[in-house]
């Protein structure tokens, strides 16, 4: 079991949702987020979130999926990033879920 988290600009939410749908992920969650870039950071935060004065409205999609679906989603995000303007790529993370309960387990 994997947890997939994907962040991107809200303006491209439909394209991102299509990656989840096209990889046959039956259930995923979505949250609207407002990205803020700290003025005190020295790190290169370019293309991640907007500045404090002009925040970037973003979306986060996440899902708990089997390993095969996680690989498909990550591949789909790579393809989506290749097809879009390179200034605002989607950021995707795959995390291992070591233990879980309360959700249906495959038989």
Q: Provide the residue ranges of all domains of the chain, joining segments of one domain with +.
A: 1-28+68-84
User: How far is 87 from 81, CA to CA, in rounded Å?
Assistant: 10
Per-residue model confidence as pLDDT tens digits over 64-96: 999 999 999 999 999 999 998 777 899 999 999
Per-residue model confidence as pLDDT tens digits over 1-50: 999 999 999 988 999 999 999 998 889 999 999 877 666 655 555 555 54
Q: Are 104 and 18 in contact (CB under 8 A)?
A: no
């Amino acid at each position: 079991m994997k947890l997939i988290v994907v962040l991107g600009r809200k303006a491209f939410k439909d394209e991102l949702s299509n990656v989840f749908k096209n990889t046959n992920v039956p259930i995923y969650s979505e949250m609207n987020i407002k990205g803020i870039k700290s003025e005190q950071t020295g790190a290169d935060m370019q293309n991640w979130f907007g500045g404090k004065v002009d925040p970037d409205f973003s979306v986060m999609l996440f899902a708990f999926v089997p390993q095969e679906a996680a690989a498909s989603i990550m591949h789909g995000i790579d393809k989506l990033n290749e097809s879009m303007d390179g200034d605002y790529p989607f950021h995707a993370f795959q995390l291992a879920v070591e233990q879980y309960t309360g959700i249906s387990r495959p038989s």
